[in-house]
Structure 1
Amino acid sequence: MPIRLPRSLPAYDVLSREGVMVMGRSAADHQDIRPLRIGILNLMPKKIQTENQFARLMGATPLQIELTLIRMSEHQARNTAADHMTEFYRTFQEVKDQKFDGLIITGAPIEHLDFEDVTYWNELSEIMDWTQTNVHSTFGVCWGGMAMINHFHGVRKHVLDEKLFGLYRHMNFDPQSPYLRGFSDEMSMPVSRWTEMRKDEIEAAGLPILLHSNEVGPALVEDPEHRAIYVFNHFEYDSDTLAQEYRRDLESNQVQGAEIQLPVNYFPSDDPTKAPPNTWRSHAHLLYGNWISEIYLTTPYNVDEIGLKTTDLRTNTDDVTE
């Protein structure tokens, strides 16, 4: 099944050209099926690029997905045209009375700030609490995942002396996890951050670590109590996203006073003139496909029951959570 997108959204044409199954609203309404309602709270400055990345992964699953793009109510995007934001995005205040099968909270380039110093932290805290009543499963990505694990468990992020930047090997800590179905024992994942979450502090909070790197630390964490998973790195990145960041940093000529380094293990022979091969794409599709599958297997058919009752079709049992 395809992902359901407005035909005028740039991602519609981009994904169609790539062979990803997309469907307009009219055609989707004629299918006798309830699509999964997935929201993306997009905190990234390059909104359209981020839309394409996540829509591409969700469009590869066999389920129909209705995508809702969400923005913070007071924060104004500076890097995306105002008419794009007006046409395709809804503020949190506009959707807060709705229910969603899934929500992705993206990263944001503000990791140098303490959480409480982020201008929209109060509203984001409200959103994270709102997920417990209005969202069946939440996926926090990079800074979004760090914000969620801090909000719900008090786990801190730690500022690093040097940027973690490149393609790093990760180990599969829990092959039996439904989120890692089909995963290899080891895989590569793009990393781009100035902060880290520490393994001992996550384990002290009682949260299972699913993917981990000896070089860059925990990467994927499950939070069963809050029906959430947190990934601190970027499976969703395109092949050239790290290259774009590297060239941006070169042009700015200064990144927090540090010398600009090549992304490690990324360019062939460390030659930035050569196109980097994408070695993480299959695992990216697996992770997001597994997340969508888990939502499908456990979300109530009646969306009004989200946050009140969880029906697990794998065991054919009902768990009332109200």
Structure 2
Amino acid sequence: MPIKLPNDFPAKSILEKEDIFAIEEKRAKQQDIRPLRLLLLNLMPNKIDTEIQLLRLISQSPLQIDVDFLKLVSHTHKNTSPNHLSKFYLSFAEIKNQCYDGLIITGAPVETLPFEEVDYWQELVQVMDWSQTNTTSVIHICWGAQAGLYHHHGIEKVQYDQKLFGIYPQRLNISHRLFRGFDDVFMGPQSRYTGINESQIKEEQLRIVAADETIGATILISADDHDIFLLGHFEYDTDSLKREYLRDQERGLDTQIPVNYFEDAALSKVTNCWRGNAHLLYHNWLNDVYQMTPYHLADIPKMRAQQA
């Protein structure tokens, strides 16, 4: 089933060229089946790239998806035009009285800062608190996962000596419905300067779904299945790490060549070995949300209260 997008949304034409169908608003309103409503809190600098990456993944569901985009007004967005933000993004004040089937909180390039020193931290805390009552499920990505683990579970960041950067194997620790169809060992992109203090994980609150002996836990899920914490970047394009590496080189950073990524000395050939798992994860998530969420969105707070 298609995603409903405004007719002039920039990502729409790109997705249509990839045979990802985005339905027009007028036609969508004539359908009787209730679409899933998702909210995307996009903290990445290049918001359009991230929009395309995530819309590409959620488009594979047979369900119609309505997506709202959320901005934090306490932060000045320097890499996205104000016109794009004002036209397509909502503030928290505009959505705080609404409910959503799912929320995605992206990463952000602020890992080296203490959480409380991030200029939009208090506003993000408001959103994360609101998400516990007004959404059926939340996916947190990279720094967004670290922020969620810190705020909800008191798990601190651990600073690395060098950027964790490349494609890493991860092994499933437990069987979980969101990872149906996954291989026991699967690959996925990592790009971060920090990890988490695993000694602070309380088993009654969190489960480590996937981990690697070298880099530690990579995927965690709350005991009530409401919050999914992805420390990596399943949404990355084939060339995302390459572009990031070249950008770091231009900035004079000492970022090493991403591990398990380039297949040639010229740094030109890359084989995507995570795309299938990325689509499978988001497909499983949307299917799971569809089965758990109430038909009437206003009933989500009551459902969450019963789960507490």
Give the structure-1-normalised TM-score. 0.92
Answering whether residue 220 of structure 2 is matched by residue 221 of structure 1, we say: yes
Shift of 1:32: 1.3
Answering whether residue 57 of structure 2 is matched by residue 89 of structure 1, we say: no
What's the counterpart of residue 182 of structure 1?
Answer: 181
Separation in 2, partners of 1:266, 1:69: 31
Shift of 1:162: 0.5
Q: Which moved more, 1:98-107 or 1:263-272?
A: 263-272
What's the counterpart of residue 314 of structure 1?
Answer: none
Separation in 2, partners of 1:266, 1:133: 40
Query: 271, 280, 300: which one pairs with 2:266?
Result: 271
RMSD: 1.5
Separation in 1, partners of 2:215, 2:202: 16
What's the counterpart of residue 257 of structure 2?
Answer: 262
Q: Is the 8 A contact 1:21 1:60 kept in 2?
A: no
Shift of 1:199: 3.5
Q: Give the counterpart letter for 2:262 in structure 1.
A: F
Separation in 1, partners of 2:168, 2:307: 39
Q: Which moved more, 1:217-226 or 1:233-242?
A: 217-226
Q: Is the 8 A contact 2:171 2:212 kept in 1?
A: yes
Answering whether residue 273 of structure 2 is matched by residue 320 of structure 1, we say: no
What's the counterpart of residue 24 of structure 1?
Answer: 24
Q: Is the 8 A contact 1:211 1:219 kept in 2?
A: yes
Equivalent residues in 2 for 1:1-322 (5 A)? 1-174=1-174, 176-203=175-202, 206-225=205-224, 227-254=226-253, 259-272=254-267, 274-309=268-303, 320-321=306-307
Relative contact order, higher structure (CA 8 A, sep 6+): 2
Shift of 1:76: 2.0
Separation in 2, partners of 1:75, 1:159: 24
Q: Aligned pair in 2 of structure 1 residues 25, 128: CA closer, same or farther (>3 Å)?
A: same
Q: Is the 8 A contact 1:171 1:213 kept in 2?
A: yes
Deviations 1:65-92 (A, max 9, x none): 1000000022121001111111100111
Shift of 1:62: 1.0
Shift of 1:321: 4.5
Separation in 2, partners of 1:53, 1:209: 25
State the SS of the aligned residue for 1:262.
coil
Q: Give the counterpart letter for 1:36 in structure 2.
A: L
Shift of 1:47: 0.3
Deviations 1:25-52 (A, max 9, x none): 1111111110100000000000000000
Q: Is the 8 A contact 2:150 2:156 kept in 1?
A: yes
What's the counterpart of residue 313 of structure 1?
Answer: none
Q: Is the 8 A contact 2:207 2:223 kept in 1?
A: no
Separation in 1, partners of 2:88, 2:181: 34
Q: Give the counterpart letter for 1:183 in structure 2.
A: F
**Consecutive unaligned residues in structure 2, runs of 5 or more:** none
Separation in 2, partners of 1:271, 1:202: 42
Separation in 2, partners of 1:124, 1:9: 25
Separation in 2, partners of 1:214, 1:321: 33
Separation in 2, partners of 1:248, 1:184: 33
Separation in 2, partners of 1:209, 1:55: 26
Q: Which moved more, 1:260-269 or 1:161-170?
A: 260-269
Deviations 1:209-263 (A, max 9, x none): 1111122211111113471110000000000000010010111112xxxx23111
Q: Give the counterpart letter for 1:260 in structure 2.
A: T
Separation in 2, partners of 1:267, 1:291: 30
Give the structure-2-normalised TM-score. 0.96
Q: Is the 8 A contact 1:198 1:218 kept in 2?
A: no
State the SS of the aligned residue for 2:246.
helix
Q: Is the 8 A contact 1:307 1:321 kept in 2?
A: no
